[in-house]
Amino acid sequence: MARLIGAASDITLILDSDGVILETAFHSRQLLDALNDSARWVGQTFESVVAPDSRVKTAALMQDAMGHGEPKWRHVNHKATDGRSIPVLYCGVEIGGRGRVMAFGRD
C-alpha cells in the first residue's frame, strides 16, 4: 500500500475530521527539502501549514472528502523555507469511516 501511495503522490497527509495533521509522508526528496520544517506539521491544522491564499482551499478539500462526493484536485501553496511559494496539487479522500482524511499531494 505504501508503494502505491508513493507512486501516486509526492506528499501524503493523514488528517482528522477537524483538519489536524496526524501523520505526514514525503515521497519526494526535493519537496521534503524545500519544506524542511514539515516535521512540525503533525498536530497543526492543514490550513496553518499553507500560504494564506490557499487556506480556503484546504477547507473545501476537507468538505469534499467528508461529503463523499467526487474527489477534486485543488492547487494549494506552501511557503518554502527560503520564502518562495511551492505549489502542490492536493486531493482528499475519507478513509476508514472514522472521519479521517488522506490528502494526496503532487508537486
What would the pLDDT profile of 48-74 be if each residue is shown by its tens digit?
Answer: 999 999 999 999 999 999 886 788 999
In the block, cell 467528508 appears at 66
DSSP assigned state of 44? S
Residue at 70: amino acid letter: E
The whole-angstrom separation of Cα 57 and Cα 33 is 24
- Predicted pLDDT at 46: 95
**Nearest-CA neighbor of 47 among 76, 67, 73?**
76
How far are the Cα atoms of 13, 27, 46 from residue 3, in angstroms, in the given order?
Answer: 15, 9, 24
Task: Please state the pTM of the whole predicted model.
Answer: 0.86
Per-residue pLDDT, averaged over 71-83, amounts to: 88
How does the average pLDDT of the chain come out, rounded? 86
